[in-house]
Structure 1
Amino acid sequence: MAKDKKDKKEKKVKSEEGSTIIRFNSPIAHPMADDKLSKKVFKTIKKASKAKHVRRGVKEVGKALRKGEKGLVVIAGDISPVDVIAHIPVLCEDSNVPYVFVPSKEQLGEASSTKRPTSVSMVVLGGQKKDLKSAEDYKEIYEECFSQAKKLDEALVY
């Protein structure tokens, strides 16, 4: 048991050059956000979670997509087993909602204002009540992330 804990800690250690070690990414994690877009997405999620305009988790995001809510879906790329999130990109494409993968579930959970790692988050501009007044502080960065995610989705060749 102690050996497993050491292995997990070694994965999070920074390399000698100062960059973080790349963790496992699932084979379906496309389009993956680059570092710059990831930072913008995390910043957007953090601001939206303060205004309570974020859906967290597979069940909640799946339900929102089936009900027809529009927003930006952010999926963690290091989820194992992949079956847990495999249906989310399909739901997004059916609903015409852009989605993007980020490298780490821990960072996604931290940005979503939870202590637990989160596999999927969805930023809904204005929330359920479409309260755009409280969305003013993150609307600009949200729209920028939304457009970049849409470009990544359109560039994806099947």
Structure 2
Amino acid sequence: MKEDINKLKNNNDSNLSNDEEEHSVDDEGSINKDENNNNNKEKKKGYEKIIEDIKEENKNSYVSKISEPMLKKKYLKNVLKILDYVYYAKLNSSQILKTNNSLDEEKQKLLKKKLIVIGLTQVIKCIRKGYSGIVLIAIDVFPINIICHLPSFCEQYKIPYTFVTTKNKLAHLCKLKRSITCLFILKPDIHISTYEQTINQHCPKKKIHNYQKLYDKLISAVKKNHPFFQS
């Protein structure tokens, strides 16, 4: 009888410990999920805050008569993501070029690749040379004759364009101090994967990914936003 009671007690203790273990695993899993969710929420909140700032900036600033179409709010995140990518890609590639003297010429040339061109003169020159991409234009350029020819020029060369925000805000999004009239986001070439791999190999803590995907999403958004490019 005593043996049966002891066996029953041991079984209960065993079941209890198993329940405790399962409970602790569940708790740990939920904590990890919560942490991931919090990180995603913080990132999402970061972009949402910037989008609200852009909306407020546009509301309170001068908007030229030619600033049509302005990029809709729902597409602004695509702009923010690709500009973030460009900034960190440039930061990482510059650091690699400065600290790695043993890089071969091919990799050095690859890391000097431009993903973005800034300024009206440079943008026009780039388009005339036959480069493809997306043009983002400031809404508050004055006098408007500085830039009024750019939309028709882009249409002539079948380059999707859109008006986004003010010159100063556009500069802020690019992490620059000087104001920006317009910028040209270059279409990724066949070497973009090698470019990303090279940077990630030397900067594993600050990896960059999916420029092609970011570009495709943005160009799709800009075309949807503009009647000229929907045909």
TM-score (norm 2): 0.53
User: Aligned partner of 2:80: which letter?
Assistant: F
1:129-154 alpha-carbon deviations (Å, 9 max, x no partner):
x5312364332122111011112222
Higher relative contact order (CA 8 A, sep 6+): 1
Distance in 2 of aligned mates of 1:55 and 1:46: 15
Q: Which deviates further from its counterpart, 32-41 or 87-96? A: 32-41
Is 1:147 paired with 2:220? yes
CA distance in 2: counterparts of 1:152 and 1:36, whole angstroms: 10
CA contact (8 A) 1:29 1:77 kept: yes
- Rg bigger for which structure? 2
- 1:37-116 matched pairs, under 5 angstroms: 37-51=75-89, 52-116=114-178
Q: How far apart are 1:125 and its partner, in Å?
A: 2.4
- Give the percent of matched residue pairs that are identical in Structure 1 and Structure 2: 29
Q: Unaligned stretches of 5+ in structure 1?
A: 1-17
Cα distance, 1:46–1:83 mapped onto 2, change above 3 Å: farther
Moved over 4 A (4+): none
Ranges in structure 2 where 5+ consecutive residues have no aligned partner: 1-52, 90-113, 197-208
Q: Which residue matches 2:56?
A: 20
Structure with a larger share of its residues in helix: 2
In structure 2, how many angstroms separate the alpha carbons of the residues matched to 1:87 and 1:131? 33
Question: Number of paired residues?
Answer: 138
Residues in 1 aligned to 2:134 and 2:220: alpha-carbon distance in whole angstroms: 10
The CA RMSD over aligned residues, in Å, is 2.4
Cα shift at 1:119 = 0.9
Matched residue SS, 1:20: helix
Q: Residue 122 of structure 1 aligns to which amino acid in structure 2? A: F
Tell me if the contact between 1:47 and 1:137 (Cα under 8 Å) persists in the aligned partners: no
What is the CA-CA distance between 1:34 and the residue it aligns to? 1.9
